[in-house]
Each structure stands twice: as structure tokens, then as C-alpha cells.
Amino acid sequence: MMVETNLFTMLSAYRPGSAATPFENYCTSGLAYFLRRGQRMLTALFSDAAAAQNEPLALVEVQPRVGEAGLADLVLTFEGGRRAIVEVQVEAGADERLLPALEAATTEWDEAPAHVLLGLSAATVNPPWVPVTWLQVAEGLEDDPDPLALQFAEFVFRDILGLGDVPLDQALATNRLYALGGAAVRRRFGERARYVNSASRPLGGKYRYLGTTFASGEGDLTGWIGLVNEGVPLSDHYYLMLASKGAPIAQPVEQPRATGDWKWPYWTALGRVVRPITADAYDELLSRLE
């Protein structure tokens, strides 16, 4: 039987040598906690992806070193000896330069492992990597009677997948606004759309702006959507806005003062945020690009 590890110890175990971001590491460690506990649906999900004949897990390693390739996100070992390298992604367009190195580093193992990529969409995964999605992870947890499993399922739905409304206080303090923006960009431009989180340095918990910079096609990142502070000095009030670097947009407004010397000429807004931010609001703003 696997030894159960303290959840909070696991979540604090980020290794600086890893290419993972702290948020990605947090998500990985939370998943590993439930895998180590032998959560039935998650174990079956990864066993199926690894072609491990529905075997229980014997070992879950977080950020182990894999030869000269560096640190893997997860290595799963099933009771029959089958192993799986798991690459974890929490954003679209993640850096995949490590994948070939991981493939090459495992060619000398006694038995070739499975290569599993846990991400936002199965459509963007190429062989030999086998896709598992965060939606499948959340669905595997949402019927679990354990309150902690239900909390992690909600975390996946809202903080990774961007499902659900986001109150302003959560937008400023969690990943939920970024997840909401990423989900809106993927809906609008497809699962292969490119985007990055973009925020000014916080001052006393306040931002000049925070949101998502994105590409509407194959070119540069020329769109931005998110929150812009109402004024300078910074206030507690924000507008939900869309900006375009090169193309005019419908219902234009003046560039807000809080964006400083940001030289993007085209802006539009939905007004001050007084209610939770919704997917519909993001979709409305993105529709103005046409």
C-alpha cells in the first residue's frame, strides 16, 4: 500500500530546477496527491492511457530526474511494472521542447514507458504522446464523496479550464481570470490558439492591468483582453476591456490612463466591473474584433 503524503507538504515541494511554473507545479502536486491515495477513477484514467491493464499504482513520483532530459512532471509506476512519463500542461501553447528529450532518455529503460500528456485538449497532442485532459480529471473526481476531491474538481473546472463566473476579488488574487481569458480565446480561435498571461506589477494588491494577450491567427500576439484599473493613482475599480494592436475594433473608446505608454491604438470596453466576470462578457468583447 502506498504511503499517503501530506497534501500541503506536496504542494510546497516545487523544485527550482524544473521548467514548470509554480502554478503548474501546484496543479501537478494536487493531482499526484489523489493518485497516491489510489483514487479509483483517476487511477483508471491514467492506467488506460498508459496501457497498464487497469492495474493499481505502486509509485507516484513528482518531478523526478529522467536521465539527461531533466525533470519530468510525473512518473507513474503501476503494480505490474509498467511506467508512464506524464507531461503536465495548464495552458495552451506550452513549451514542448522537453518532450523529445524525455522520449530519447527513456529508450534505454528495460521496458519502454508510456508517454502521457495531460493538457487542455486532446486535439493538440501528437504521437507517441497519449492525451489525457483536465476535463477528464475533473469528471473523474466530481462524483467522489470525499470533500477534498470535490474541491480539487472545482479547482480544475474554474482555475484551469476557466469555467464559471469570476468575482473581482478572485480575479485579482487567483488564476481564475487567466483561465477564463484562455478559455474564451480557445473558443473564439480554436484549441491551437496562442496566448499568454499579461499583468502589470501589483502595487498593494492593485494592478494597472491584468489579462490575456493573444493571437487571432498565425501571426503575432496582437490582441489583449482583461481588466484595466479605472485610474492613476490606482483605485479599487476596474474596467473590462479589449485592445488591438493593429486592427480597428467595434465600439471604440479612448486608451485608459492606467496602461501608460502602452502604444496600442484600438480599445473597447464593457464598463466598470460591478458583478462577477462571465464567459459571455469575454465573448461579447472578442466579437468586436470583427
The confidence score (pLDDT) of residue 7 equals 60
Q: Does the pLDDT at position 15 exceed 60?
A: no
* Residue recorded with cell 518532450: 99
Q: Is 140 exposed, middle or buried (0-12, 13-18, 19+ CB in 10 A)?
A: buried
CA-to-CA dists, residue 84 to 87, 107, 116, angstroms: 10, 13, 7
pLDDT in tens, 90-144: 988 777 778 888 888 888 788 889 999 999 999 889 999 999 999 999 999 998 9
In the chain the domains, ranked by start, together with CATH numbers, are 7-155 (3.40.1350), 164-287 (no CATH)
The confidence score (pLDDT) of residue 101 equals 86
The confidence score (pLDDT) of residue 28 equals 93
Cβ atoms within 10 Å, residue 20: 22
Mean pLDDT value across the chain: 90
What is the band of 19 on the pLDDT scale with cuts at 50, 70, 90? low
Stated length of the chain: 290
Higher pLDDT, 62 or 19: 62
Query: In the 3-class helix/strand/coil scheme, how is 219-267 assigned residue by residue?
Result: CCCCEEEEEEECCCCCCCCEEEEEEECCCCCCCEECCCHHHCCCCCCEE
Q: What is the pTM of this model?
A: 0.90
pLDDT in tens, 137-196: 999 999 899 999 999 999 999 999 999 999 999 999 999 999 999 999 999 999 888 999
pLDDT in tens, 256-281: 999 988 999 999 999 999 999 999 99
How far apart, in whole angstroms, are the C-alpha atoms of residue 247 and residue 97? 32
Average pLDDT over residues 64-84: 90
The confidence score (pLDDT) of residue 238 equals 98
| Neighbouring residues of 64: CB distance < 8 A, sequence distance ≥ 6 | 71, 72, 75
What is the band of 2 on the pLDDT scale with cuts at 50, 70, 90? very low
Query: Which string of b and e fits 48-81 if b means at least 16 CB within 10 Å?
Result: ebbebeebebeebbbbeebeebebbbbbbbbeee
| Neighbouring residues of 77: CB distance < 8 A, sequence distance ≥ 6 | 57, 58, 59, 60, 61, 83
The confidence score (pLDDT) of residue 3 equals 43
Residue among 248, 254, 195 at smallest CA distance from 228: 254
Q: Does the pLDDT at position 77 exceed 90?
A: yes
pLDDT in tens, 23-49: 898 899 999 999 999 999 999 999 999
The confidence score (pLDDT) of residue 214 equals 95
Q: Is 107 exposed, middle or buried (0-12, 13-18, 19+ CB in 10 A)?
A: exposed
**Element (H or E) spanning 107, and its range?**
none
Q: Does the pLDDT at position 21 exceed 70?
A: yes
Please, which residues bridge with residue 239 across strands? 228, 272
| Helix %, strand %, coil % of the chain (to 5) | 35, 25, 45
Q: Does the pLDDT at position 204 exceed 70?
A: yes
Q: Does the pLDDT at position 1 exceed 60?
A: no
Query: What's phi and psi for 77, nearest 5 deg?
Result: -120, 120
Cβ atoms within 10 Å, residue 45: 20
How far apart, in whole angstroms, are the C-alpha atoms of residue 97 and residue 52? 27
- Residue 161 half-sphere exposure toward CB, CA atoms < 13 A: 19
The confidence score (pLDDT) of residue 92 equals 80
The confidence score (pLDDT) of residue 12 equals 56
